[in-house]
Structure 1
Amino acid sequence: MNHTMETILDKMKKEIDQWMAYINDKDAEKIVKRTPLQVGIHGYALLEYADGRVDVTDHVLDLSLPGNRKQNTSEQLSEDQVRELIPELAAYMQHHINTLPRAVIDYRFTFDGKFRVRGGEVNERILDYVDEEKKEQLLERISLYISGKLEAGKYPTKPLETFFLSRHLLDEGLYGELDSGKIIAAFERIQELNKGNKHLAEHRHTLTAALRNWVEDQWLPRYFENTGTEWQREYKKKSGAMLDVTGQSSVELVIYAAICILKYEPSFSRSVGLTFLNCAIELGSTRAEQLMKQGSGAFAEDDVRLRGERVECSANDVFAEVSVHVKQESGESYAQALRFLIHLLKLGFPKSYQIKLKSAVKCWLPMKGLAKSGTHRFFANALEYPEVHPLLEEYAKAAMETFEWYTDMEGEKSCMPGSYAVFGLGLTDPVYFPLAGQYMEKVDVEHQSVQNSFTAALVEQYGFNGETLPLLVTCMLYSTETLKLKIRDELQEGELLRLLLEQVHSLKYYQVEHLVYLIWGGTDKLKKLADKAEGDKKQYLTGLIQAAKRG
C-alpha cells in the first residue's frame, strides 16, 4: 500500500473513530431496557468517499453530488484500490464493535461503502456482522411476546413494542424465509387488542410503514426494476421474473401491505397500494386481481351488492369504499342504501370508509367547516326525507367509533363515522339531542375539530337557553379551544347562569376551566365580571370560578 493509500485509509479510520465515539455517547443500556424486543441500537453504517472527502453516517449523504464534491484528483481511487482497502476497513470496524458496550450494536450490523472512483462509483459491503447469541436471544423474546402479549393477551399493547416487532417479523436476516400467515396474524391481533384505544392509528401506521418498507426494499427489487426515481417510483417487471414456491407465500404479504395502505394511510398514498397490487397481478396473482375487482371475499355476495330499480350499492372492503348509485331520487332509495350500510357495518365492514355517490342531487349540511365529499352529500341528500331520519339515527349508532374516520377527507376536516348523520339530525329536531350527546362523548378531540362547527350551528339554530344548555355544555367539553361562540349576552341572565353552575358540579376542574375559556376567555376575565356583579349573579359567577380551580 503506497503513501497516498495509507493517507486515505488513515482518514477513513479517523471518521470511523468519530462515528463510533458519537454512537457510544448514549445511555444504551437504559434505552434497550424500554422493551425486551430491542437488543441493540445501531445496525447500519455507511462510509462515503469522494475526491478526498470521507464521511461515516447511518444514512446516505451522496458526497459525489456536484454540491458536495471537493475536487482533489490526487486522492481519487481506482476500483482495485477500493477493494484493497475493504479488508482493512472491515477489520478496523470489527475491532470497534468488539470494544463497544453490548447494548450499542444490534444483533446484526452491516457496514457499506460508497466510493467515488475514476470513471464512476463502487458500492461494496464492507462488513456484515451477526451476533449469534443476541440473535437467538431476540428470537426467543419475540416468540414469548407473541404467545404472551398477543395470542393470550387481553390488553392494549405499546406502540414501541409494535415498532420493533413489525420490523423484526419482516427481517429476512432474522428469519430467512418469512412466514406470511404468522406475520399477518400478529399484525391483525395487534389491531384487535388496540381497538377503541387512542393509539390504534399509531399502531396501524407503524405496521403499514414496516410492510411498505419491506415491499419496496426487499420484495419488489427481486422481480421489478425501478425505472423512475427514488421519490417517484415506476416498476418494470424483470425479464423472466416469476413467483416460485417461496414467492407465492410472500406475495400474500405484498397484498396485505397494499390493503393496509389503502385502508389506513392518507389518500395520497393510495397510488402506492394500487402499485403493489398491480405488481402482484403482473406476477400472476389471481388473489390480487380478485381484490381489485371484488374485495377480500370476507363478505357474502348478497351483503356487498344491492341491485334495485331505485338504487344500486356495492362495497369493496379492500378499498374501504361503498359505491351508491341513486337512480330514482326518493326517500325509499336512501332508506334502502342506509339499510345496506347498517347491515354492512354490523357484519364488520371497516368503519373507516367512504361513500362514492352517483346522484343528480347535491345537498350539503347547513354548517361551515365540512369537506364537500361524496360521503357528506349522501347523508345531506338523505336528510331531505323526514321518513328516513330514524334510519339515519340507526346508522349513526352503528357507525360511531372513536379513532375511526371517513376516509375522503383529512386534516382539520377529518370526522368520525356517523358525523354527517348526527349533525344533520341534531340541526333538524331537538329530539336527536341525546344522539348528539352520545356522539360528542366518542369524539377524539386531538384529531378532530368539525364538532366546533356543529356546536356553533346549534347555537345559531336553537339559541342558548334552558333546553339547549345541557347539550351545548357537552358539545363545548369536546370542542377545541378555537371554538367561537357568541353566548355571553344570554349568560347575563341569572337563571341561565344558575343552570350552567348546576351542569358543571359533576365535572373536573379542568373541564370547567375549558368551558370558562370558551365562553368568557378565561377565569381572569370571569373574575372581573364577578367583581362587578351583584346578588345571585355574583354568587353564580363566583361558583363557576371556584369550580374551575384545581383542588
Structure 2
Amino acid sequence: MDYTLEAILEEMKMEIDKWLNYISDKDAEKIVKRTTLQAGIHGYALIEYADGRVDVTDNLLGLNEPDKSKQTTSEQLTEVQVREQIIPELASYMQNKLNAMPPAVLDYRFRFDGKFQVSNGVVNVRILEYVDEAKRQQLLEQIRLYTLNKLDAGKYPTKPLETFFLARHLLDEGLYPILDSGRITAVYDKIQELNKGNKHLAEHRNTITVALRNWVEDHWLPRYFQNTGTQWQTGFTKRNDAVLENAGQETVGLVIYAAVCILKYEPSYSRSAGLAFLQCALELGSVQAAQLINYGSGAFAEEVTRLRNDQVECSANDVFAEVRIRIIQESEESYAFALRFLTNLLKSGFPKSYQIKLTSSVKHWLPLKGLAKTGTHRFFANALEYPKIHPLLEEYAIAAMETFEWYTDAEAEKCCMPGSYAVFGLGLTDQAYFPLALQYMEKVDVEHQSVQNRFTAALIEQYGINKEMLPVLLTCMLYCTDSLKLKMTRELENVGLLRLLLDQVHGLHYYQVEHLVYLIWGGKNKLQKLADKAEGEQKQYLAGLIQAANRS
C-alpha cells in the first residue's frame, strides 16, 4: 500500500471516528425507551471522497445525487484501489467500531455506503450491511405485541410516534421479506379508525402516506419503471422487460393504497404523484387500478354514488374524494336534488374531506372576503339563492361538519371544515340559523382554520351589536384566532352591553376571557388603561373583566 493511499485511508478512518462519536448520544437509551417500536436510532452512513476531501454523514440523498463528472479527473485514486483495498479495509474497520457501540445507538440493521471520486469517474458502492439478528427478532416480537394489544384489541387513540415507526416497519423488507398487502393496509386502516375524531388524525394519516410514498418511489417503482420525471413534475416510463410477478401482484395493492391516501389526504400539489402511482399500476395490468379510476372503491352502492334526472347529474368517487355535479337546468329543484344527494352520500360514509367539481352557468360567491373561489364554494353560494331549500342546506351542514376534516380544494389560510359555506351563508341570511352557526363553531379546529374570523366579522356588519347579538358574537369569538379584526369598542361604551358582556364571561376559563379581551380591546394592558380613566359602573365592569381575564 503506497503512502498516498495509506494517508487517504487514515483520513477516512478519522472521519468515521468523528461521525461515530457524534452519533453516540448519551441520551440514546432514553430516546429508544419512548416506544417499544424503536430498536435503535441510526441505521445508515455514507462516506464521500472527492477532491481530496472526506465526509461522513447519514444523508441518504448523497448516494443518489447525479455524478458531476464522468470524465477523467486529476484524482489519483483508481477504481481498482477503491474496490480492492479501500472498501475491504473500511468494511472491517466499521464493523469493529459497530461491535463496540452502545446497543441503543444502532438500529437492527446498519448500512454503510461509499461514494468515491476516482481517476475515471465516480464509484458508488455498498461497503457494509450489518444485521443484528437478535435485535431484529426482538423488534418483530414488539411489532406483533403492539398490533395485537394496541390495534387489534384497541379501543383508544394511539400515539403519533408509534405510528411513525410502525408505518415504516411494516414496509421494511428487511423485517418482512414478503410484504402482506392485506395485513398492512388493515393495520393502517385500524390506526385511522382508532384516531377518528382525534386532533392527531391528520398526523397519523400523513405519517402513513409518507411511509407508503417512500416505499413506492424507492423500492417498488424502480423494479418496473424508470423515473423520467423532473424535480417539479412526476413521470415514470415502464421498463421494456417489466413483468408483474406473483410477489408484485401482492404488493400492487400497497401501491394503489398509497395512491388513494395521497389523493384523499395530501395537499393538491401532491395529487400528480397519486395519479402517477395509479397509472403505473394500470400499465402493469391492475384491474383494481382501472376500477378505482373509473368508479371508486366500490364500497358504496351505485344508487348512492350516481344519480341524475333531466335537470342535474351527480356522481361521486371516494378514491379521489370528489363529487361531480352538473347543473343542466338552473333551478331550485336542481340544487335540492344535488343537496339530497350530498347529504345521503355523507351519511353513507363518504369521506368528509372532499371537494365538489361543479359544472354550472351561474357563478355566485358568499359575501365574505378571503374564501377560496372553488367549485365547492360556488355550489353552496348558488344553492343559497333559493330560500325554500335552506332547510336542506342546514341538513347537509349537520351531516358534513366534523372536526379535523376539510374541503380538499381550499388550502392554507383558506382551508375550512366541511359545511362551512352552507353555515356561513345561512347565518348571514337568517338569525334562525344562529344555533347551527354555534354548533359549527364548537367543532372548528382553531389551530388549522381561520375563515371563521371572516364570518364573525361579517355577522357584526350584518346584524350590528346589541343585547340579542352579543351572546352569539362572544361564542363565535371564542373559536376565532387572534388575527380577527373587530370594531366594537364604541358599542361597548354602553354600560348595559358592558354589564351583559361581564355576565356572559362568568363560567369561562381565564384564558378564554383573556382571548375575548384581546380581540375587543387589544389586550389586558389596554383595557386596564381604559379602566383607569373610567368612572362609576363602567369602571366597575371593566375591572371585573380584567379580574376574569387574570389567572386566579
TM-score (norm 1): 0.97
Partner of 1:43: 43
Partner of 1:339: 340
In 2, distance between residues paired with 1:162 and 1:50?
Answer: 39
Cα separation, partners in 2 of 1:436 and 1:550, compared to 1, 3 Å: same
Partner of 1:7: 7
In 1, distance between residues paired with 2:393 and 2:158?
Answer: 35
The superposition leaves residues 84-130 of structure 1 with CA deviations (integer Å, 9 ceiling, x where unpaired) of 22111111001111111110000000001111122222111110100
Which stretches in structure 1 are left out of the alignment for 5+ residues? none
Identity of aligned residues (%): 70
Determine helix, strand or coil for the equivalent of 1:545: helix
In 2, distance between residues paired with 1:217 and 1:263?
Answer: 22
Given that 1:156 and 1:197 are in contact with CA atoms closer than 8 Å, whether structure 2 keeps it comes out as yes
Cα separation, partners in 2 of 1:66 and 1:298, compared to 1, 3 Å: closer
Offset at residue 471 of structure 1 (A): 1.2
Partner of 2:128: 127
Letter in 2 for 1:337: A
Letter in 1 for 2:31: I
Partner of 1:143: 144
Aligned residue runs from structure 1 range 176-325, under 5 A: 176-229=177-230, 232-325=233-326
In 2, distance between residues paired with 1:330 and 1:544?
Answer: 51
Letter in 1 for 2:329: Q
In 1, distance between residues paired with 2:29 and 2:232?
Answer: 36
Offset at residue 80 of structure 1 (A): 4.6
Offset at residue 380 of structure 1 (A): 0.3
Aligned residue runs from structure 1 range 423-462, under 5 A: 423-462=424-463
Determine helix, strand or coil for the equivalent of 2:174: helix
Offset at residue 528 of structure 1 (A): 1.6
Letter in 2 for 1:12: M
Offset at residue 240 of structure 1 (A): 2.1
Letter in 1 for 2:500: L
Partner of 2:16: 16
Partner of 2:30: 30
Instruction: Provide the aligned C-alpha RMSD in A.
Output: 1.7
Determine helix, strand or coil for the equivalent of 1:75: coil
Offset at residue 4 of structure 1 (A): 2.0
Letter in 2 for 1:445: V
* 2:546 equivalent to 1:545: yes
Aligned residue runs from structure 1 range 303-382, under 5 A: 303-382=304-383
Letter in 1 for 2:32: V
Offset at residue 61 of structure 1 (A): 4.2
* 2:410 equivalent to 1:409: yes
Determine helix, strand or coil for the equivalent of 1:37: coil
Letter in 2 for 1:161: E
Partner of 2:508: 507
In 2, distance between residues paired with 1:64 and 1:303?
Answer: 49
In 2, distance between residues paired with 1:540 and 1:236?
Answer: 72
Cα separation, partners in 2 of 1:347 and 1:63, compared to 1, 3 Å: closer
In 2, distance between residues paired with 1:241 and 1:523?
Answer: 68
Offset at residue 369 of structure 1 (A): 1.2
The superposition leaves residues 339-378 of structure 1 with CA deviations (integer Å, 9 ceiling, x where unpaired) of 0000010110000000000011100001111010000000
Offset at residue 228 of structure 1 (A): 3.3
Matched residues, number: 550
The superposition leaves residues 261-287 of structure 1 with CA deviations (integer Å, 9 ceiling, x where unpaired) of 000000000000000000000000011
In 1, distance between residues paired with 2:437 and 2:354?
Answer: 21
Given that 2:171 and 2:215 are in contact with CA atoms closer than 8 Å, whether structure 1 keeps it comes out as yes
Given that 1:367 and 1:457 are in contact with CA atoms closer than 8 Å, whether structure 2 keeps it comes out as yes
Cα separation, partners in 2 of 1:496 and 1:270, compared to 1, 3 Å: same
Letter in 1 for 2:155: K
Offset at residue 65 of structure 1 (A): 8.1
Determine helix, strand or coil for the equivalent of 2:104: coil
Cα separation, partners in 2 of 1:22 and 1:72, compared to 1, 3 Å: farther
Cα separation, partners in 2 of 1:325 and 1:64, compared to 1, 3 Å: closer
Offset at residue 230 of structure 1 (A): 5.8
Determine helix, strand or coil for the equivalent of 2:175: helix
Q: Which of 462-471 and 210-219 deviates more?
A: 462-471
Given that 1:79 and 1:117 are in contact with CA atoms closer than 8 Å, whether structure 2 keeps it comes out as no
Offset at residue 234 of structure 1 (A): 2.2
Q: Which of 302-311 and 259-268 deviates more?
A: 302-311
Letter in 2 for 1:312: E
Q: Which of 448-457 and 231-240 deviates more?
A: 231-240
In 2, distance between residues paired with 1:199 and 1:443?
Answer: 15
Determine helix, strand or coil for the equivalent of 1:144: helix
Offset at residue 539 of structure 1 (A): 1.6
The superposition leaves residues 198-238 of structure 1 with CA deviations (integer Å, 9 ceiling, x where unpaired) of 11111100000000000000000001111234664421111
Offset at residue 527 of structure 1 (A): 1.4
Determine helix, strand or coil for the equivalent of 1:174: coil
Letter in 1 for 2:283: E
Letter in 1 for 2:57: T
In 2, distance between residues paired with 1:88 and 1:290?
Answer: 54
Cα separation, partners in 2 of 1:96 and 1:68, compared to 1, 3 Å: farther
Determine helix, strand or coil for the equivalent of 2:127: strand
Q: Which of 55-64 and 268-277 deviates more?
A: 55-64
Cα separation, partners in 2 of 1:410 and 1:223, compared to 1, 3 Å: same
Determine helix, strand or coil for the equivalent of 2:358: strand
The superposition leaves residues 367-416 of structure 1 with CA deviations (integer Å, 9 ceiling, x where unpaired) of 11101000000000000001110000000000000000000010000000
Offset at residue 63 of structure 1 (A): 12
Partner of 1:169: 170
Cα separation, partners in 2 of 1:123 and 1:320, compared to 1, 3 Å: same
Given that 1:225 and 1:238 are in contact with CA atoms closer than 8 Å, whether structure 2 keeps it comes out as yes
The superposition leaves residues 231-253 of structure 1 with CA deviations (integer Å, 9 ceiling, x where unpaired) of 64421111121111111110000
Letter in 1 for 2:17: D
Offset at residue 81 of structure 1 (A): 3.6
Given that 2:417 and 2:444 are in contact with CA atoms closer than 8 Å, whether structure 1 keeps it comes out as yes
In 1, distance between residues paired with 2:231 and 2:500?
Answer: 62
Offset at residue 146 of structure 1 (A): 0.4
In 2, distance between residues paired with 1:550 and 1:462?
Answer: 33
Given that 1:51 and 1:76 are in contact with CA atoms closer than 8 Å, whether structure 2 keeps it comes out as no
Cα separation, partners in 2 of 1:66 and 1:211, compared to 1, 3 Å: closer
Given that 2:75 and 2:119 are in contact with CA atoms closer than 8 Å, whether structure 1 keeps it comes out as no
In 1, distance between residues paired with 2:256 and 2:269?
Answer: 18
Offset at residue 307 of structure 1 (A): 1.3
Determine helix, strand or coil for the equivalent of 1:115: strand
In 2, distance between residues paired with 1:446 and 1:511?
Answer: 15
In 2, distance between residues paired with 1:77 and 1:19?
Answer: 25
Partner of 2:83: 82
Letter in 2 for 1:416: M
TM-score (norm 2): 0.97
In 1, distance between residues paired with 2:107 and 2:170?
Answer: 15
Offset at residue 72 of structure 1 (A): 8.1
Cα separation, partners in 2 of 1:383 and 1:96, compared to 1, 3 Å: same
Letter in 1 for 2:543: T
